[in-house]
Chains A and B, each alone.
Chain A
Amino acid sequence: MSLIVENVSKRFDTKHKKTHTLDRVSLEFKKGEFICLLGPSGCGKSTLLNVIAGLEKATEGRILLGGKEVKGAGSDRAMMFQESALFPWLRVIDNVEFGMKMAGVPKEERREKALKYLKMVHLTKFQNSYVHELSGGMRQRVALARALTLDSDVLLMDEPFAALDSQTKNILQLELQQIWWETKKTIIFVTHNVEEAVLLADRVIVMAANPGRVKKEFKIQLARPRLLENVDLVYMVAEIMKELKEEVEKVAKAEYDSDWNIEKDTVLSNTSDDMGIGL
């Protein structure tokens, strides 16, 4: 089941302002691919993900999943959000079972499968806890388990690790590689973190803002499991960073005063011109 984004545009029109969030974006994702959508804030990467999920309607264009047009949200495209979006009135195990309950899966089968995926994210100990008793990283693990129980071919992830501390984030990134490897899902992962994108993805799609569009694609052909310390990985990060810098600068320029300049203001320089004068 390949996923095709065909000529998708998205405009928000309000009385005061017209925003062109996505401009004729066309992409194709192969089955089992791990793709990262990377870009500065405001480039429409989250919007694109929402359109794929069916949570937002495209102004133009369409999404095809396995040849069929996507209409509305559905359990064939599981989604993870930046916040866990777990339900505080349910215990962990019931949260994991939620999707299956909606699909009308019988109780025993539900429980069994929920435990299997909780085990995959190493949280069976906490199956009877309530959400507020878990840390941020644990919540995202539960959310991942919940998304996996849907048995969807596609897993959409909207900056799922962005709110976590960096140690927790690193551990989860490594485990996500493992889980992707085991479940062979097509994963579309939105992030603004270049290292994260290079670490995880087969393909990194760099997006540009105003209007949101695909700027460049990078194939990451590095051996897995990947580690952040890997030299090749650092090289790729630098390559992508170059591409991205221009975009970041463009977005920043629109926000800051006109005298701001990415080179001038990030390089430390001595302006008094008296270097070595006392030698």
Chain B
Amino acid sequence: MTIWELVYRIGVDYLEIWKSYTFPSPFAVIKTLFGLIGDNTLGIAVLASMKRIIVGYSISIVIGVIIGLTIVRYKYLDENFSALILGLQTLPSICWLPFAILWYGLGEGAIMFVIAIGSTFAISIAIESGIKNVPPLYIRAAKTMGASGIKIYWNVIIPASLPSVISGLKQGWSFAWRALMAGEMLTATVGLGQVLMVGRDLADISQVMAVMVVIIVLGLAVDKIIFGRIEANIRTKWGLDRG
């Protein structure tokens, strides 16, 4: 904060490298932040964004898991579609926006589609590699103990692949979060991305910065609190944190 303020003072006030509307001071940002919280803009925006991402992300989990399991099950699909899925995963999900708008119109549907498609492939790849990397010894051991079919899936393969599935879900979340912001900046009428764009339209750089801070904090919070806890829990159980 001090460094930021110092940079602001030197850059804007003394050297006049930047104009005050291109570089915000921390105090202005905090003031705007409280302003946005005070008139409830931020609250509504956060709620709207969270609703979208939760729906979109849930859809992508469902579809991602289905795709992942199908690929593992059928070798033909694995051989022919893995490269395609990898390719689709590298495609930034915002590229789907034109399609989304054509299919769902300018609204909630389009944004959720972009979110879902952004994280689906990351999740399905994680499921696939998670299951493929389950040590065969675990499955053999389970077989000699009388487990078969669905019991092996439920009691061995799923728990054994959990660590990599969780990191896939985490990665999926970050893709979804980015897709959400991009989608909202372009099409939304309410939401964090839209508040940020309003800031831009009004040349209110502090508002842009304030929203950015909120986005960072929210993203970090979900990452650390939800995924971080689950991951840490699994890692200590498995003994992966030692050494």
* B237:A130 contact, CB within 8 angstroms: yes
A-contacting residues, B106-129, CB 8 Å: none
Interface size, A (range): 20 to 34
Q: Which residues of A contact B155 (CB under 8 A)?
A: 98, 101-102
A79-B144 contact, Cβ under 8 Å, with A87-B160, A89-B162: yes
Q: Is A75 an interface residue, CB under 8 A from the partner?
A: yes
CB-based nearest A residue for B135:
A85
* A89:B238 contact, CB within 8 angstroms: yes
* B145:A75 contact, CB within 8 angstroms: yes
B-contacting residues, A140-195, CB 8 Å: 146, 150, 156
C-alpha gap A102/B149 in the complex (Å): 11
Partner of B140, one of A55, A88, A130: A55
B3 to chain A, nearest CB (A): 43
* B239:A133 contact, CB within 8 angstroms: yes
Question: Lowest 4 A-B CB distances belong to which pairs?
Answer: A132-B239, A75-B146, A99-B145, A85-B141
Q: Is A83 an interface residue, CB under 8 A from the partner?
A: yes
Q: Which residues of B contact A131 (CB under 8 A)?
A: 239
CB-based nearest A residue for B162:
A89
Of residues A73, A78, A99, which shows the largest number of chain B Cβ atoms within 10 Å of its Cβ?
A73
Q: Is B83 an interface residue, CB under 8 A from the partner?
A: no
Which B positions have Cβ atoms within 8 angstroms of A? 137-138, 140-148, 151, 155-156, 159-160, 162, 234, 237-239, 242
Partner of A89, one of B142, B143, B237, B242: B237
Q: Which residues of A contact B138 (CB under 8 A)?
A: 85, 87
Partner of A88, one of B144, B147, B239: B239
Q: Which residues of A contact B242 (CB under 8 A)?
A: 132
C-alpha gap A83/B242 in the complex (Å): 20
* A102:B238 contact, CB within 8 angstroms: no
Q: Which residues of A contact B239 (CB under 8 A)?
A: 88, 130-133
C-alpha gap A130/B242 in the complex (Å): 13
C-alpha gap A121/B147 in the complex (Å): 24
B75 to chain A, nearest CB (A): 18
Q: Which residues of B contact A150 (CB under 8 A)?
A: 145-146
Partner of B151, one of A54, A55, A102: A102
A157 to chain B, nearest CB (A): 11
A229 to chain B, nearest CB (A): 35
Partner of A87, one of B144, B146, B156, B234: B156
Partner of A73, one of B144, B151, B160: B144
CB-based nearest B residue for A82:
B137
Q: Which residues of B contact A78 (CB under 8 A)?
A: 144-145
B-contacting residues, A101-137, CB 8 Å: 101-103, 130-133
C-alpha gap A58/B68 in the complex (Å): 33
B149 to chain A, nearest CB (A): 11
Q: Is A74 an interface residue, CB under 8 A from the partner?
A: yes
Q: Which residues of A contact B137 (CB under 8 A)?
A: 81, 83, 85
Of residues B140, B146, B238, B242, which shows the largest number of chain A Cβ atoms within 10 Å of its Cβ?
B146
Q: Is A77 an interface residue, CB under 8 A from the partner?
A: yes
A81-B140 contact, Cβ under 8 Å, with A87-B159, A102-B145: yes
16 contacts between A and B (CB under 8 A): A55-B140, A73-B143, A75-B146, A79-B140, A79-B144, A81-B140, A83-B137, A85-B138, A85-B141, A88-B237, A88-B238, A88-B239, A89-B160, A101-B155, A102-B147, A133-B239
C-alpha gap A73/B148 in the complex (Å): 9
Q: Is A53 an interface residue, CB under 8 A from the partner?
A: yes
B56 to chain A, nearest CB (A): 30
B130 to chain A, nearest CB (A): 13
A128 to chain B, nearest CB (A): 12
Q: Which residues of B contact A88 (CB under 8 A)?
A: 237-239
**Additional 11 contacts, C-beta under 8 A, given A72-B143, A78-B144, A102-B146:** A53-B144, A54-B144, A73-B140, A73-B143, A75-B146, A79-B141, A87-B160, A102-B155, A103-B146, A132-B238, A146-B145
A113 to chain B, nearest CB (A): 14
C-alpha gap A85/B155 in the complex (Å): 14
**Binary interface encoding of chain A residues 62-85 relative to chain B, with 1 for a CB under 8 A from any of its CBs, else 0:** 000000000011110111010101
* A74:B146 contact, CB within 8 angstroms: yes
C-alpha gap A80/B49 in the complex (Å): 53
